[in-house]
Amino acid sequence: MSLVTKEDRLRYQELVKRERPARRIVRNTVRAFIVGGLICELGQVIQTLFIRYGHFKPTEAGNPTVAVLIFLAACFTAFGVYDRFAQWAGAGSAVPVTGFSNTMTSAAMEHRSEGLVAGIGGNMFKVSGPVIVYGVVSAFFIALIRYIIEHL
């Protein structure tokens, strides 16, 4: 026999609904949009620097730009800055490549005490691995659809 009655559960659920802070969907969406855009703008500035001062062609500057963004996000994660920033920024910091870097670095830092192979190597892709899988699979299907459309 349960000590908690159905009425108690219903009263508790009503209390939770009343006391739960309101979700600020519009504010959070706008903030995520702006932050994601600013991260992409930073990437554009870095790419422009590679083109202008590194004498890269525009088609070649993308890879080192992504590498710099990944490196910066990994450093900010290691210093504990990125997590606080991501808490404030929401999805705007999670969607660009910097969010991917954050998940990899966080997992590596969390499991480093278990060793290089079993700890860092074995756990680094637990969160970001599915992102890679779904990215590759969806890219395959998009390429297949494009191929079919172009060759019909």
The first and second tokens of residue 37, run together, are 């855009």
Question: What is the rounded CA–CA span in Å between residue 79 and residue 75?
Answer: 6
Residue-wise pLDDT for 70-79, tens only, equals: 999 999 999 9
Which of 88, 80, 133 is closest to 110 using CA atoms? 80
> Which is higher by pLDDT, 47 or 2?
47
pTM, 2 dp: 0.73
According to the model, what pLDDT value does residue 4 have?
Answer: 78
> Which is higher by pLDDT, 11 or 147?
147
Which of 88, 81, 77, 95 is closest to 37 using CA atoms? 95
- What mean pLDDT comes out for the span 31-47? 95
- Is residue 1 very low, low, confident or very high in pLDDT (cuts 50, 70, 90)? low
